[in-house]
Amino acid sequence: MKATTATRGGVSAPAMPLRAAGARWSRIRPVEVAFWAVAIAAAFVLPSGFLLLNELAILALFAVSLDLILGYAGIVSLGHAAFFGLGAYCAALLAKHFGIDPILGLGISAALSALLGLVTSVLVMRGSDLTRLMVTLGVALILYEIANKLNWLTGGADGLTGVTMVPLFGTFEFDLFGRTAYTYSIIVLAVLFFIARIVVHSPFGMSLQVVRQNPLRAAAMGVAVNRRRAAVYTLAAAYAGVAGALLAQTTGFASLDVLAFHRSADVMLMLVIGGVGYLYGGIIGAIIFKVMQDWLSGITPQYWEFWIGLLLVVIIVVGHEKLTRPWTWFRRGQGAKP
C-alpha cells in the first residue's frame, strides 16, 4: 500500500517536512556571516599573503565539489582531479589562443567539466563503492595520459606555458602579488558555495541524503536514485572544473600536476580533516591542510607528511565530534559509552 498523498495547497504532505527542514537549515547564521567577513578581512590583514589565500580559496572550492558527491550522495571518488585538470587546461588554452575574458573562460571550463561528469556518471552509477573508486581513478589516469601524449597542445611534461590572462572585465589586471587573483577567487567561491548550500538544503538535496543512507529504500519510495546521483555528479564536476580553471587563470600555468593522483588524494584528506557531509567542512579542511602543509614543510621539509598522517590517524581513531566538542569525552547517558 502506498503512503498517503494528501496535499495541502498543492504540496504533498511528506514533502512538507522536508521543505520545512530545508528552509530551517538554509537560514544564514551569524557564525557564517562572521566566517565570510574574516575571509574578506584577510585580504587587508595579510597583504603579503594573497598568493596563499588565493590557493586556499581554490582548494576550498575543490573540496566543496567533492563533498557534494561524497557527503551528500555517498559516491566515493579517487579521480576527482579529472574534472579539476580538465577545467585548468581548458581555461589555460582559451586564454593562450583566444585571449577571452576570464569569466567566459570560467563558464566554458565549467560546461566542459560538467559534460565529462555527465558522460562518466553512467559508469559511476554501476557497481559497488570499490567499483566506483576504480572507475573514477581510471578516468583521471586516462586524462593524465592523454594530456601527456598531446604535448603539442598541452605542453606535456613541461606544462602549458605562455598563458597570459586579459584583465577581468577589461579593467582589473592580474598582478604579481595576487590581490586581483584572491578577490576573484573568493568571490567565485562565495557565489558557488551559497548555490551549493541552496541545493543541499532543497528537497532535491534532502532526497540525496536519503539515497546516501539507503539507496534501495529510496528506490522503493519512488526516488529516481540514478538520476539524482547523475545530477549531483555533474554539478560536482562543474564545480571542480571551475576550481581548476581558477588555478590556471590566477597562476598563468597548467601542467600534468593538475591531473595527478595526489590532487584527488589531497582533496579527500581535506574532507577527512574538515568533515564529510557539511559544506563548511570542505573549506575548513582545505584551510587546515594547506596551512599545515606550508608550516610543517618549512620546519621539516622531509617529514611533513608524517605529521599530517598522524593527524589523520587521530581524527579517525578519536572522531570529529570528540575533537571539536571535547566535553563529549565525559558525557554519560543516552548513546554514550562509560
Percent of the chain with pLDDT over 90: 41
301 vs 226: which has the higher pLDDT? 226
pLDDT band at 6 (very low <50, low <70, confident <90, very high): very low
Q: Supply 193's cell numbers.
A: 558555495
Provide the pLDDT for residue 3. 40
Taking the alpha carbons of 147, 150, 151, 157 in that order, is the dihedral positive or negative? Answer: positive
In 229-264, which positions are buried (b, 16+ CB within 10 angstroms) versus exposed (e)? bbbbbbbbbbbbbbbbbbbbbbbbbbbbebbbeebb
Helices (H) and strands (E) in the chain, counts: 15, 2
- pLDDT, residue 12, reads 42
Please check the confidence at residue 250 and state whether its pLDDT lies above 70.
yes
Mean pLDDT for the chain? Answer: 83
Give residue 26's pLDDT. 56
* Cβ within 8 Å of residue 81, ≥6 positions away: 140, 240, 258, 259, 260, 261, 263, 264, 267
Looking at the predicted structure, is the pLDDT value of residue 201 above 70? yes
pLDDT in tens, 266-316: 999 999 888 888 888 899 999 999 888 888 888 877 777 788 778 778 877
Task: Copy the grid coordinates of residue 257.
Answer: 600536476
d(CA 76, CA 129): 6
- What would the DSSP string read from start to end of 224-235? -HHHHHHHHHHH
**Residue of 132 and 198 predicted with greater confidence:** 198
Average pLDDT of the residues in 183-205:
93
What pLDDT score was predicted for residue 133? Answer: 87
Please report the sign of the dihedral spanned by the C-alpha atoms of residue 216, residue 217, residue 220, residue 224: negative
Query: What value does the mean pLDDT take over residues 190-199?
Result: 94
Determine the average pLDDT of the residues in 81-99: 93
The model's confidence at residue 323, banded by pLDDT at 50, 70 and 90, is: low
Q: Does domain 11-259 have CATH number 3.30.750?
A: no
Mean pLDDT within 192-210: 91
pTM for the predicted model, two decimal places = 0.86
pLDDT at 13: 42
CA angle, 316 then 211 then 142, to 5°: 70
Higher-confidence position of 92 and 128: 92
Q: Residue 166, by phi and psi: left (phi above 0), alpha (psi -120 to 50) or beta? A: beta
- For 324-334, what is each residue's pLDDT tens digit? 555 444 444 44
